Amino acid sequence: MQKSKLVMIIGAVLIIALFLFPLWNITLEAPQYPTPLGMDIYINDFSDTHPHDIKNINLMNHYVGMQYIPETIPEFKIFPWVIGIMTTLGVFIGFLANYKWYLWWFILMSIFAIAGIYDFYLWEYDYGHNLDPKAILKFTNPDGSIMGFQPPIFGSKDILNFKAHSYPQLGAYFMAIGIALTFIAYLLGKKEAKKEVTNLKNIIRKSVLTLFGLALVSYSCNRGPKAINYGTDGCHFCQMTIVDKLHAAEIVTTKGKIYKFDATECMVNALKDMDTNTIDIYLSTDYNQPQTLIDATKATFLISKEIPSPMGAYLSAFEHKEDAIIKKEEKGGKLYTWQELHIKLKK
């Protein structure tokens, strides 16, 4: 198979990632929210960045007359069909059509992407300006006009005491890479048709590898653990601000969502209300290495009355069992594995 055909097919298939990963994210920061409120926007739905975020945003915005964020909008029914048809068409063109069709597919898909961004802007504008005149709170601009609360389409913006952030997510990156690859496929096809061997082929080949590398790096960054911002991040279970650098914990789901805890006991207690099948990584802080997260499932845990932990379980984690034994001989207490710890805390 010619390289241009292969690149065209890969580019068309990559946009299917829109069904798997969020397209965009809007986050609201404010002093009264230790954990910022946010929502992920998929090709066919909205989703909480953290549990109940959209509900809290709706309740907060109700006071200034903003509309409730709908669970479904007409575009959510249209966009999946557009992406499905364009993917099928792109694969068909890659297998059977002349390389000139690659350029037409690239142009058409680029138009759809720009139209989607414009539609997103119109939705944001209506969301931020179409306010209920009977709202409890009303804010006006210096010229007396009604203040709007439209989030930025890209970047950050101050809205009263909130700071709104709006940035593309992994789905958008995959779509951009897929569209770019189809243009690269057109260039490759053009050179293949002329049977010219030039340095341009090497440049394009390196570009393709770079694009795939960026996609893989972006994917792994979104899926992996994230550092805990002590004094700022809040515990997912007890809602307290995380300050203890010896006992904090973290969960990473299979979709890359992060849940942070001020102690391992909070993480274990939170599992009672979570589907463990959706969890990819369990992390606890190594007591001997402050701020260092380790694999909780392989750690050794010590419960000792001489070592307080944030929520009163006197529970500490150690990456190496030898370190836990030494600390037990020094402070007393009892050692547990990850499985034994669950049994202990359920009693």
Q: Would you state the pLDDT for residue 214? A: 60
What pLDDT does 75 receive? Answer: 75
* pLDDT of 268: 92
- Check residue 65 and give its pLDDT: 54
The pTM of the whole model exceeds 0.75: no
pLDDT, residue 252, reads 93
Name residues of the chain where pLDDT drops below 70: 1, 60-68, 70-73, 127-150, 195-202, 212-223, 347
Q: Is 114 exposed, middle or buried (0-12, 13-18, 19+ CB in 10 A)?
A: exposed
Q: How far is CA 341 from the centre of its chain?
A: 30
In this predicted structure, what is the pLDDT of residue 302? 95
